C-alpha cells in the first residue's frame, strides 16, 4: 500500500487552493467586464436617443427654413433644405429607435465594408481633436503665465529682467545696447 508523503499532499492542497483562487478571480473579472459592457450599452442607448431627438429637431428647423425660402421665391434652396431635412429625419429616427447592439453591429459592418472610409474618418477626428487640444492648450498656457507683460510669470520690464549697473548686470531691466541681446528678460 503506497501512501503519500505529507509534503506531496501539502503541495497538492496548495495547488488546488491556487487553482480555486484563480478561478474565483477569473469569474470576478468576467463579471466586471460584463457589468462594464452593460453600462456602456446603457450609455449608448441614452446618448443615441438624445442625439436622435436633437437631429429630429434640426430636421424640423430645416423644414421650416425650407418653407420660408419657398415663400421668398427661392425654390432651389428650399428643395435642398427639405432634402437635407428628410435625411436628417431618417438619421434621427434611426438613432432614436436603434438599440446599442444594432448601432454597434451596423458600425462594425460599415467598417468591414469600407475600411478606408473608417481610416479617413479616424484621421479627420484625430486632426480635429489635435486642433482642439492645441487651441485649448494655448489659451490655458497664456492664461496661466499672463502673456508677455501680463500677470504672474509674465516677461517684460520689471519682471525679473537684468539691467546694467555699476557692479554689472542687476535684476529688473534690459540688457544695454551693444552688450549682448537687446531683448528684455
Tens digits of residue pLDDT in 127-160: 999 998 888 887 777 777 654 444 454 444 444 4
Would you say residue 161 has pLDDT above 90?
no
The whole-number pLDDT of residue 145 equals: 67
Mean pLDDT comparison of 5-19, 84-98, 166-180, highest-scoring range = 84-98
C-alpha closest to that of 66 among 91, 87, 96, 92: 87
Report CA Rg, the chain.
34
The whole-number pLDDT of residue 118 equals: 92
Residue with cell 431635412: 85
If residue 168 lies in a helix (H) or strand (E), which one and from where to where?
Answer: strand 168-171
Tens of pLDDT along 39-92?
Answer: 888 898 899 999 999 999 999 999 999 999 999 999 999 999 999 999 999 999
Would you say residue 173 has pLDDT above 80?
no
Measured CA to CA, the distance from residue 21 to residue 18 in angstroms comes to: 5
Measured CA to CA, the distance from residue 25 to residue 28 in angstroms comes to: 5
What does the block give as the cell for 1?
Answer: 500500500
H helices present in 5-164, as ranges:
6-71, 75-97, 100-113, 115-145
The whole-number pLDDT of residue 183 equals: 47
The whole-number pLDDT of residue 112 equals: 95
Measured CA to CA, the distance from residue 90 to residue 97 in angstroms comes to: 11
Amino acid at each position: 500500500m503506497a501512501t503519500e508523503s505529507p509534503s506531496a499532499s501539502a503541495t497538492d492542497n496548495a495547488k488546488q487552493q491556487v487553482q480555486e483562487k484563480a478561478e474565483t478571480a477569473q469569474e470576478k473579472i468576467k463579471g466586471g467586464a460584463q457589468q462594464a459592457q452593460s453600462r456602456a450599452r446603457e450609455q449608448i442607448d441614452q446618448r443615441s436617443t438624445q442625439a436622435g431627438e436633437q437631429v429630429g429637431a434640426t430636421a424640423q428647423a430645416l423644414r421650416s427654413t425650407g418653407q420660408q425660402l419657398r415663400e421668398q421665391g427661392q425654390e432651389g434652396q428650399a428643395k435642398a433644405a427639405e432634402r437635407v431635412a428628410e435625411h436628417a429625419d431618417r438619421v434621427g429616427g434611426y438613432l432614436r429607435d436603434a438599440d446599442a447592439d444594432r448601432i454597434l453591429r451596423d458600425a462594425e459592418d460599415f467598417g468591414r465594408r469600407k475600411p478606408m472610409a473608417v481610416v479617413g474618418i479616424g484621421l479627420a477626428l484625430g486632426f480635429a481633436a489635435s486642433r482642439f487640444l492645441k487651441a485649448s492648450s494655448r489659451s490655458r498656457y497664456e492664461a496661466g503665465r499672463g502673456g508677455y507683460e501680463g500677470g504672474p510669470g509674465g516677461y517684460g520690464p520689471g519682471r525679473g529682467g537684468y539691467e546694467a549697473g555699476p557692479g554689472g548686470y542687476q535684476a529688473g531691466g534690459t540688457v544695454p545696447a551693444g552688450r549682448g541681446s537687446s531683448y528684455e528678460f
